[in-house]
Chain A
Amino acid sequence: ETGVTQSPTHLIKTRGQQVTLRCSSQSGHNTVSWYQQALGQGPQFIFQYYREEENGRGNFPPRFSGLQFPNYSSELNVNALELDDSALYLCASSNISYNEQFFGPGTRLTVL
């Protein structure tokens, strides 16, 4: 059973740039959720995708967008990067029928 993987591991961008983060779901999972974890904080829900459609969204502006592909992998896109976007971005996959989410190791984004 393959776990959740994320790429890249680390990323450095400058303010105003755009970034794409990628996530591969665990085998058999059809739902992907993205979280932002700032230093010293818990993960904050960004949005969830189920069967290629957004299925819930947290309090994040529209410049945070996502995609889910037919193989259930997913992308998180952030436009017009701001310094406060610097954080660990976590992807979690699950089967919509169950409650447990399996997390990837995260992508550390630094915005300068």
Chain B
Amino acid sequence: DQQVKQNSPSLSVQEGRISILNCDYTNSMFDYFLWYKKYPAEGPTFLISISSIKDKNEDGRFTVFLNKSAKHLSLHIVPSQPGDSAVYFCAATAYNFNKFYFGSGTKLNVKP
């Protein structure tokens, strides 16, 4: 039962342009969402999060948008840099915070 889905396995973007990574979820109980970045041979690294009481959260070049009615969130990276090339996972959880559901990841390649 895949409650968090990332339907794009890969994305290729030119350096300096915007990268948009998408994530959909099915469980309306989810109220906290996170994005993680993962380099090969390393564990996922927390990037940015958003609570369901907000529809946007920004941190430097990274912005996460949440559309609760569509059960959709997206991560925008502007401008994209070659160092952003990694696998990006979105994750969701509910109020009690003792279980996280991850998507299958999107591999971002930022070309110089």
Q: Which residues of A contact B (CB under 8 A)?
A: 4, 33, 35, 40-45, 48, 50, 55-56, 58, 90, 92, 96, 99-106
What's the nearest-Cβ distance from chain B to residue A62, in Å? 18
What's the nearest-Cβ distance from chain B to residue A44, in Å? 7
Contacts A99-B34, A105-B42; A42 near B99 (Cβ below 8 A): no
Q: Is B45 an interface residue (CB 8 A)?
A: yes
Partner of B102, one of A43, A55, A100: A43
Contacts A99-B34, A99-B93, A100-B49; A105 near B43 (Cβ below 8 A): yes
Q: Do the beta carbons of B46 and A50 come within 8 Å of each other?
A: no
Q: Which residues of B contact A (CB under 8 A)?
A: 4, 6, 32, 34, 36, 41-46, 49, 89, 91, 93, 96-105
Count of A-B residue pairs with CB < 8 Å: 55
Chain A residues closer than 8 Å to B34, beta-carbon distance: 99-100
Q: Do the beta carbons of B99 and A56 come within 8 Å of each other?
A: yes
Q: Do the beta carbons of A101 and B100 come within 8 Å of each other?
A: yes
Q: Do the beta carbons of B104 and A45 come within 8 Å of each other?
A: no
What are 8 A-B contacts with C-beta separation under 8 Å?
A: A42-B105, A43-B44, A50-B98, A58-B99, A90-B44, A99-B32, A101-B100, A103-B45
Q: Do the beta carbons of B100 and A45 come within 8 Å of each other?
A: yes
Which residue on A lies nearest to B101, using beta carbons? A45
What's the nearest-Cβ distance from chain A to residue B87, in Å? 9
Interchain residue pairs A-B with the least CB separation, the first 9: A103-B43, A56-B98, A42-B102, A42-B104, A43-B102, A103-B44, A56-B99, A100-B46, A105-B43
